[in-house]
Structure 1
Amino acid sequence: MSKKKLTMKEIAAAVDVSVMTVSNVINGRDHLVGEETKRRVKAAIDELGYRPSATARALRSSRMFSIGFIVLYDERKFLGDPFIAALADGLCAQLAEQGYSLTIQGVFTDELSEAKAFRRMETDGLCLLLSGSQPTKYNLRELLKSLRQPIVLFQEGVQRAEPDICSIRQDDRGGGRLLAEHVVSRGARSVLVVVPQVEWPAISERVGGVREALHARPGVEMRVLVSESEKDADVQAALTNYLDQGGKPDAILAANDQMAIAAHTVLEQRGLTLPDQIMLTGFNRFNFWRYFSPKVTTVISPAEQLGRTAATALTRRIDDGEFEDRDIVLPVELVQGQTT
């Protein structure tokens, strides 16, 4: 004999709250519920083994209880990027707590004309992380806006004419300023910023922050070195060529930690000691950072928290009909290592 399925009414009776309170917790509206009550309801759900019917929820609310995460990127193995993976981790974890699933899809710039398949996406909202030129990003944004779903845009600002788009980003410009001020305070008078060829808005912001900080420091020179990609071999080839042509900066500010680690190999081969002869910084400080020696001076990225924040903002928008805040910026923090 099959076990009788528990109802929300029985959960409510066990915790001595209303059925609406239980429904709010189960359906991701737990911001309407006090922390202690939410804890008791979730404990009862776990203890009693309640499992909501996804089909019934969709029929009652005309929702799919699914969110899409779309990445516009030229690399086929885009989930190998630690920033994208951390965003996805945060999204998955928070959406799961709120009863939503996550669909992840990569879009490649050379296949953008075939992206009309997104019109068939059965989701309630979308999260976008876009690389490439402004026209390319604009085309995909316009296509996805035609789906008439609320959108969270990672790492970019929004226009006032886009009322159903929310921007969630970390303070990359502020992070760039922190790194530039840090190396200059330690004597750097020539700074080389190493970036990948692919256009990421976050990296553009970091470069902008460095430029702003150095503009206020007369006599400090800044140059930008473009690597074909973020891959070790490409970063090392670009830096080797730069040094072979006589370049010798006081500090190298890499766009992220993996590029900084690649650059370190070249500096080590040249016999340049860090930080006495040259300084080196990265950006993001994901888990692999702790396994590399020397510890690279870097900036902590709240990437996973960006994903969690996006999940909360999007599900609240689905409940309430509008975004509470359309421009959310999370702070970053400089961590000094052994390379500056």
Structure 2
Amino acid sequence: MERVTMADVAKEAGVSKSTVSQFLNKRYEYMGEETRRKIQQAITELGYQPNYLARSLKQKRTSMIGIIVANIKHRFSTEVSHAIEEYCYDADIQAIVCNADDDPVKEKKYIEMLMAKQVDGLIIFPTGKNIELYDSMIHAKYPVVFMDRKAGDINLPRIVSNNIESAYQAVEHFVKQGHTRISIVTQSLTITPRAERVEGYKRCLEDYQIDWNEDYVINNPISDLQEELEKMFSSNHPPTALLAGNDRVFLELLKFTKRKEMTIPDDFSLIVFDNIQYAAVSTPAVSTISQPAAEMGRKAAELLLKQIQKEPVEAKEHVYPCELVIRET
């Protein structure tokens, strides 16, 4: 089947090729409604498909960006990626989502692959282990935004939550409810958000002159959490309140409590640091620290598109406050 060209559309609509080009690029300022109708009718009748490769070569842009998510299993990551995709869609830009599985080797491969495909920029939830590669992108002035995590002293725009303050607020709520045996459970402290949440936990206990017990602090891989929870709750003085570092830790807690026939909040009070989709309607309703994922995603997309369009963007940290939502746990 012979390919329909822009010239064919112009001939069918009775206009010039440049007018069709302006229509395809949505430059309607000096184009009448009747002309737009004729061009759209010609495109429909002829089945014309724009040659995006030719357009990208001409514009020196592919109108595609990459999102490299550290771990797509986290609800927060999914919400952020959805917000980025929506923002880009409205700007007529396609978003490619890649899942690094918290693996720096996989992350490096995705970064190099997407750059080889000449995507216009990247939004990365960094593993923090590819410092030289991050630096090389900065030196090449390649558009990049970091999301959720920090990586050394890398000098580029970063979108993060106020993890320390939010964890502090959650622990403070426990203290004001009369708890002194307070636990925090996270995955291994290999990334900044987890480390900052533990830091907020410790600061609050220190400020309220409560000795923090290392037996109440679990920072282990998901695969080890059941064993670590077993040890902690089998002690003579188990915690009466617990801050779960994210949604995956929360799921491990649910498995544990079901296996041990424990109930929340009867056996211990709970706050989860993450956006749990059904937190408000579960039984009992789960208390959470909610991050403004959609707002953060839109901001990341906005900053990336500004870089792509050669607009000045300051290489600074954009910190977003979280909301402590107290429910029934």
Range into which the TM-score falls when normalised by the shorter chain: 0.7 to 0.9
Post-superposition offset of 1:140: 4.2
- Which residue is 1:7 aligned to? 22
> Hey, what does 2:230 align to over in structure 1?
240
Deviates more, 1:295-304 or 1:313-322: 313-322
Tell me which moved more, 266-275 or 292-301: 266-275
Contact 2:157–2:317, Cα closer than 8 Å, also in 1: yes
Show the counterpart of 1:35: none
Aligned CA distance change for structure 1 residues 106 and 260 (closer, same or farther; 3 Å) = closer
User: One-letter code of the match for 1:228?
Assistant: P
2:324 equivalent to 1:334: yes
Q: 1:124 aligned to 2:117? A: no
What residue ranges of structure 2 are gaps of 5+ in the alignment? 1-7, 14-19, 34-39
Tell me how far apart the structure 1 counterparts of residues 145 and 68 of structure 2 sit (CA, whole Å): 10
TM-score by length of 1: 0.74
Counterparts of 1:276 and 1:295, CA distance in 2: 13
Deviation at 1:180, TM superposition (A): 0.8
Instruction: Using the TM superposition, name which of 138-147 and 235-244 deviates more.
Output: 138-147
- Mapped partners of 1:171, 1:280: distance in 2: 20
Corresponding position: 1:192 with 2:183: yes
State the alpha-carbon separation in 2 of the partners of residues 100 and 113 from structure 1: 23
Q: Secondary structure at the match of 1:253?
A: strand
Amino acid in structure 2 at the alignment position of 1:194: V
Question: Are 1:313 and 2:308 matched, yes or no?
Answer: no
Deviation at 1:111, TM superposition (A): 5.0
After superposition, residues 256-335 of structure 1 pair within 5 angstroms as 256-267=246-257, 269-270=259-260, 272-324=262-314, 326-335=316-325
Structure 1 residues 161 and 68, CA, compared in 2 at 3 Å: closer, same or farther?
Answer: closer
Of stretches 283-292 and 112-121 in structure 1, the one that deviates more from structure 2 is 112-121
Give per-residue Cα distances to partners, 1:205-225, cap 9 Å, x unaligned.
211222222220112535311
- Give CA deviations for 1:118-176 in whole Å, capped at 9, x if unaligned: 55131221111123xx5x242442354465412101123477772xx101112222211
Are the counterparts in 2 of residues 119 and 147 from structure 1 also a CA contact under 8 Å? no
Give the drift of 1:94.
0.4
- 1:170 maps to amino acid: S
Residue 208 and residue 181 in structure 1: after superposition, are their counterparts in 2 closer, same or farther (change >3 A)? same
For the residues of structure 1 that align with 2:88 and 2:27, how far apart are their CA atoms?
Answer: 25
Distance 1:7 1:52, change over 3 A: farther
Between the two proteins, the alignment pairs up a number of residues equal to: 296
Return the letter of the residue paired with 1:173. I
Say if 2:243 and 2:271, in contact at 8 Å, map to a contact too: yes
Q: Select which of 93, 102, 109 maps to 2:104.
A: 109
* SS of aligned partner of 2:273: coil
Write out aligned runs for 1:120-159 (5 A).
120-131=116-127, 134=128, 136-142=129-135, 144-145=137-138, 148-157=141-150
C-alpha change, 1:87 and 1:313, in structure 2 (3 Å) is: same
CA distance in 2 between counterparts of 1:252 and 1:123 reads 43
Provide the TM-score with structure 2 as the length reference.
0.76
Shift of 1:279: 1.0
Identity %: 21
Report the residue type matching 1:81 in the other structure. H
Q: Counterpart in 2 of 1:210?
A: 201
Q: How many angstroms apart in 1 are the aligned matches of 2:192 and 2:315?
A: 21
The one-letter code matched in structure 2 to 1:138 is: I
1:169/1:329 contact within 8 Å kept: yes
The answer (yes or no) to whether the contact 1:257–1:284 under 8 Å persists in 2 is yes
Separation in 1, partners of 2:235, 2:161: 36
In structure 2, what residue type is equivalent to 1:262?
E
Query: Could you say what the CA RMSD is over the residues aligned between the two structures, in angstroms?
Result: 3.4
Q: Tell me which of 159, 177, 187 is aligned to 1:168.
A: 159
Per-residue CA distance 1:48-83 (angstroms, 9 max, x = gap) = 99x987456534532222212223x4xxxx423322
> In the superposition, relative to structure 1, how do residues 197 and 160 fare at CA in structure 2: closer, same or farther (>3 Å)?
closer
Range with bigger deviation, 99-108 or 139-148: 139-148
Which residue, 83, 87, 93 being the options, matches 2:80? 87
Paired residues of 1:313 and 1:324 also in contact (CA < 8 A) = no
Deviation at 1:117, TM superposition (A): 4.2
Displacement, 1:235?
Answer: 3.2
Alignment match of 2:67 (pick from 69, 77, 90): 69
In 2, distance between residues paired with 1:271 and 1:113? 43
Query: Is the Cα–Cα contact under 8 Å of residues 65 and 100 in structure 1 kept in the other structure?
Result: yes
Pair 1:80–1:268, CA change in 2 (3 A): closer
